[in-house]
Amino acid sequence: MKELSILMGGQAGDGIRQAGNTVARLLNRLGYRIFFYDDYPSLIRGGHNFSIVRAADKKIRAHKENVDLILAMNQETVKRHRWRLKAGGEVIFDSGKVETQGIGLPFKEILREHQGAPIMRNTAAIGALAGHLGIDWEVVAEVIRDTIARSKETNLKIARTAFENTVDSGQKIDRAGAPAVPLLTGNEAIAIGAVKAGLNMYIAYPMTPASSILHYLASHEDDLNVVTIHPENEIGVALMALGAAYTGARVMVGTSGGGFALMTEAVSLAGQAEIPLVFVECQRAGPSTGVPTYTMQADLSFVLHSGHGEFLRVLMAPGDVEEAFYLTALALNLAWKFQIPAFILSDKHLSESTSSFEGDPAEIGPQPPISWDGSGEYKRYRQTEDGISPLAFPGTRDAVVKVTSYEHDEHGITTEEPDEITRMQGKRLKKLEKLKSELGRQELVKVYGNPRAERALICWGSTKGACIEVAEELDLRVIQPLLLEPFPMNEMVKALSGVKTLIDVEVNATGQLSSLLATKGIKADRKVLRYDGRPFTIDSLKNDLKEVL
Amino acid sequence: MIPEFEKFKGFKAKSIPKDEPLASGHRACQGCGEVLALRMVMKALGRDVIVCSATGCMEIISSPYPHTAWRVPWIHIAFENAAAVASGVESARKVLKRKGKIPKRHVDIMAVGGDGATGDIGLQWISGAFERGHDFLYVCLDNEAYMNTGVQRSGCTPYGAMTTTSPPGKKSFGQVTWKKNIPAIAVAHNIPYVATASPAYFLDLMNKVKKAALVKGPAYVHIYSPCPTGWGSAGERSIEFAKLAVETRVFPLYEVIEGRYIMSRKITKPKPVTEYLKGQKRFRHLDEGHIDYIQKRVDVEYEKLLRLAELT
């Protein structure tokens, strides 16, 4: 595999993410597939930020610890990351701020020459990088024009000067040959997937790492024809969404674990009242405020069991941008078809990392719910064969739509009669059969690596990225359930066939997937867990696996 | 008249306490008006205080090692809980004192939060604490949006302001609602002391905080806190903007003592609001129509206050 990793580091305010974004788009334009990891502390200002852009000539979903190039905006970057540099690697740095060996350019002087703002140091760094890699100037200019919103001409001049003053290393980076594809963060893919499935409203309260769904949809409200609302807290969010869904709007809410804790009242209500609602939970390191800008997969048990009482739900965990797109669309369609709460479980690593998107948006569209045909008396909770009562919304002619959080009869009138309670609970749970047959048409458990290998890694969510590449190298199988509730038992048994050693790989401290598997009679032989707020990289996973293989 | 105020003569510029219960070396942005206000709050309170701090800028800039700035007992809680936790602290001290488990000396209890923690997510708990009548003060440091999570709008974001969730464009002109009047909500609870303050008038600010601490029962101080990062204003002009907000009547300074409104600073010759709006990126997209509306509404709101001061 032809590949290249570049690290950019500096202080918050140095535009590290922006620089990473430009570099990612530069390499995308050359036909590479991208994975772009962004690491930043929970501070308003200062602190050390870095991004790693990894480019390869095939699909990748993870980054590596070691890099070919470092772009250092400050001394700390060199101090913290020099160990990552591979033999033959180079440091490109601001000679006014950094003392080290490598390719130093006076960014400050370059900026002064073109009257650039201090933030444009990152443009100088990109120019130098492109010069070093021997990338054609036309490509660089095009990407800068596309990715930088303001002062395009000044940025171009700065990049050009840095470009011309950097000696071509002779290791000219070739075009990988593939056409450029869209680069999306997991959160963008979630947002677009929902829109493709007919989302009308997105309601959320800001919380890292879910906030960028709100930002993305708010800034594209007109193009996407979606209304975004930011109410006073997550309780308000979830209950406003219940009101919107009751009125007939396809609605989604998004948050992280702390905010979801406040939403759980609405989860249970959606279960009892059969209101379709999609919850996106982007996990971060907890408990409580925890480590706000770092990743974790520790809310699986919480979301799986959220809300009191017993009711049907769908819980899906996408592991890459394509899955984020498809599964969110599927979640919205299923929630409406079956009138149940559906959950998308993401994490910081998926939500905020950027990758090449190779899905086909044309495959997805909104599926209409089962609606009342207007005949006879309308009963919101009519008993039917499959348990699904046709939907009508307030304002529909001749329909009085009564919805309640109490146990109720077919009309939506409160009941405490034992027979009725049994019947209604039976009606709601009966929907499982049709839900299962509907889900049966989807791919619910994915297998990667060597599908016949006797040693298998089992993982969920963003952890798949590192697992797949390690498995390919070590000749292992990878099993990744996309659906966690209702649990896809048949597909899982098929995926596990022939496995002698099962290794559970998760980013949490207790192995929550392995606990779930145990309840299904599937025992993981070993666990490889990481819970320092950082995702597995290919190298770190390989290293951890050495001890158990 | 409140008996606790009788002995308090007010702070003087010459005799401001030198002690810094909130140490320097925190990591607030350059020109942060909020941390400046908080520093004055802490100077007024001294060290005999327990601080219950909601999630927000002030918690983030003052708590990571080695930038910890608090020299007083400090508890950080989740976003909406400051008033509820302060209620627990106050009740526990009362009980423990009664049972003779802790000395009977008075310690102030302060809950502090930003405009999001106060006016949006935490409002219900503040209402409960005011209703129960706990002896504590609640300080709201209002920088008019969620600044530490990426400048999203709050209920206290002013009309027309640009935030990431109220972006101006073809169909929007920024925030569409008028700033929520939290001091009025506090007044409606019939608590003994409510005040608004600004870091530009620091002696006034310190006096109000001290009074809020002295008074028996709940007290509320709403402090205007310029935010260069979120407002797109020059850091060195924060105090200037704080002053302009008062001089243009955008943010009037007043006290409400046992329901009586008292203007702290009557602005008889107000500057036009444009003087306040210009120089802040969050307002630069506004056209004349919007500015005209803001001017009219500011005048109406100020008149209402003057009338309340006359009536009460």
Distance CA A515, CA B273 (A): 61
Instruction: Return the minimum-mean-pLDDT range out of A146-160, A446-460, B187-201, B213-227.
Output: A146-160
Condensed to tens digits (0 to 9), the pLDDT of residues B88-139 reads 999 999 999 999 999 999 999 999 999 999 999 999 999 999 999 999 999 9
Least CB-CB distance to A289: which of B27, B78, B123?
B78
**Interface contact flag, B229 A207, Cβ < 8 Å:** no
Q: Is the CB of B60 inside 8 Å of chain A's CB atoms? A: yes
Distance CA A174, CA A152 (A): 26
The answer to the question of residue B4 being in a domain is no
The answer to the question of residue B5 being in a domain is no
**Interface contact flag, A44 B28, Cβ < 8 Å:** yes
Closest chain B C-alpha to A97 CA, distance in angstroms: 21
Condensed to tens digits (0 to 9), the pLDDT of residues A480-532 reads 999 999 999 999 999 999 999 999 999 999 999 999 999 999 999 999 999 99
**In this model, does residue A196 exceed pLDDT 90?**
yes
- A-chain CB neighbours of B185 within 8 Å are none
What percent of chain B stands above pLDDT 90? 92
Sign of CA dihedral B248, B250, B254, B260: positive
Please give the pLDDT value at position A141: 96
- pTM of structure: 0.89
**Interface contact flag, A233 B121, Cβ < 8 Å:** yes
- Spatial contact of A416 and A408, defined as CB atoms under 8 Å apart: no
Q: List residues of A whose CB lies inside 8 A of any B CB.
A: 41-47, 205-208, 211, 214-215, 218-219, 222, 228, 230-234, 258, 288-289
Please give the pLDDT value at position A178: 86
- Domains of chain A are 3-166 (3.40.920.10), 183-363 (3.40.50.970), 445-548 (3.40.50.920)
The answer to the question of residue B260 being in a domain is yes
Please give the pLDDT value at position A361: 87
Please give the pLDDT value at position B99: 93
Q: Is the CB of B63 inside 8 Å of chain A's CB atoms? A: no
The label of the residue with tokens 């896809």 reads A488
**Interface contact flag, A289 B27, Cβ < 8 Å:** no
Closest chain B C-alpha to A193 CA, distance in angstroms: 21
Least CB-CB distance to B80: which of A42, A214, A233?
A233
**Interface contact flag, B164 A218, Cβ < 8 Å:** yes
The strand pair at A277-283 and A341-347 is best described as: parallel
Give the mean model confidence (pLDDT) for residues A280-299.
Answer: 96
Condensed to tens digits (0 to 9), the pLDDT of residues B247-293 reads 999 999 999 999 999 999 999 999 999 999 999 999 999 999 999 99
**Interface contact flag, A222 B152, Cβ < 8 Å:** no
Q: How many angstroms separate the Cα of B31 from the Cα of each of A117, A196, A264, A317, B226? A: 19, 44, 40, 43, 8
The answer to the question of residue B3 being in a domain is no
Least CB-CB distance to A44: which of B57, B152, B165?
B57
Distance CA A384, CA A369 (A): 15
Give the mean model confidence (pLDDT) for residues A432-439.
Answer: 96
Among B57, B79, B147, pick the best mutation site for testing chain A contact (most A Cβ within 10 A): B79
Least CB-CB distance to B60: which of A42, A233, A258?
A42
The answer to the question of residue B9 being in a domain is no
Among B65, B77, B149, pick the best mutation site for testing chain A contact (most A Cβ within 10 A): B149
Q: What contacts A456, CB < 8 A, 6 or more positions away?
A: A476, A477, A478, A479, A496, A499, A501, A502, A503
Please give the pLDDT value at position B68: 87
Please give the pLDDT value at position A283: 98
What CATH number is associated with residue B72? 3.40.50.970
Among A222, A232, A291, pick the best mutation site for testing chain B contact (most B Cβ within 10 A): A232
Mean pLDDT estimate for chain A: 95
Please give the pLDDT value at position B271: 98
Give the mean model confidence (pLDDT) for residues B219-235.
Answer: 97
Please give the pLDDT value at position B78: 87
Least CB-CB distance to B146: which of A43, A206, A234?
A206
Residue type, A389: S
**In this model, does residue A285 exceed pLDDT 90?**
yes
Provide the domain limits for residue B79: 19-311
pLDDT band at A168 (very low <50, low <70, confident <90, very high): confident
Could you tell me the two tokens for B92? 């526990």
Q: Is the CB of B127 inside 8 Å of chain A's CB atoms? A: no
Q: Which of B274, B138, B280, B281 is nearest to B215 (CA)?
A: B138
pLDDT band at B1 (very low <50, low <70, confident <90, very high): confident
The answer to the question of residue B179 being in a domain is yes
What percent of chain A stands above pLDDT 70? 99
pLDDT band at A3 (very low <50, low <70, confident <90, very high): very high
Condensed to tens digits (0 to 9), the pLDDT of residues B164-214 reads 999 998 888 999 999 999 999 999 999 999 999 999 999 999 999 999 999
Q: What contacts A50, CB < 8 A, 6 or more positions away?
A: A7, A8, A9, A10, A16, A39, A77, A80, A81
- B-chain CB neighbours of A234 within 8 Å are 121
**In this model, does residue B53 exceed pLDDT 80?**
yes
The answer to the question of residue B12 being in a domain is no
- B-chain CB neighbours of A230 within 8 Å are 152-153, 165
Total number of domains constituting chain B: 1
**Interface contact flag, A218 B165, Cβ < 8 Å:** yes
Please give the pLDDT value at position A413: 95
Q: Beta partners for B38?
A: none
What percent of chain A stands above pLDDT 90? 92
Least CB-CB distance to A43: which of B27, B79, B80?
B27
CA A180 to chain centre: 21
**In this model, does residue A90 exceed pLDDT 90?**
yes
Q: What contacts A418, CB < 8 A, 6 or more positions away?
A: none
Give the mean model confidence (pLDDT) for residues A368-385.
Answer: 96
The secondary structure of residue A96, as a DSSP letter, is T
- Spatial contact of A186 and A34, defined as CB atoms under 8 Å apart: no
Four-point Cα dihedral B232, B138, A210, A223, nearest 10: -50
The answer to the question of residue B49 being in a domain is yes
Condensed to tens digits (0 to 9), the pLDDT of residues A307-327 reads 999 999 999 999 999 999 999
Mean pLDDT estimate for chain B: 95
Give the mean model confidence (pLDDT) for residues A261-275.
Answer: 97
Please give the pLDDT value at position A42: 83
Sign of CA dihedral B93, B98, B101, B107: positive
Q: Please name the residue of chain B whose CA is at the shortest distance from the CA of residue A288.
A: B78
B201 or B150, greater pLDDT: B201
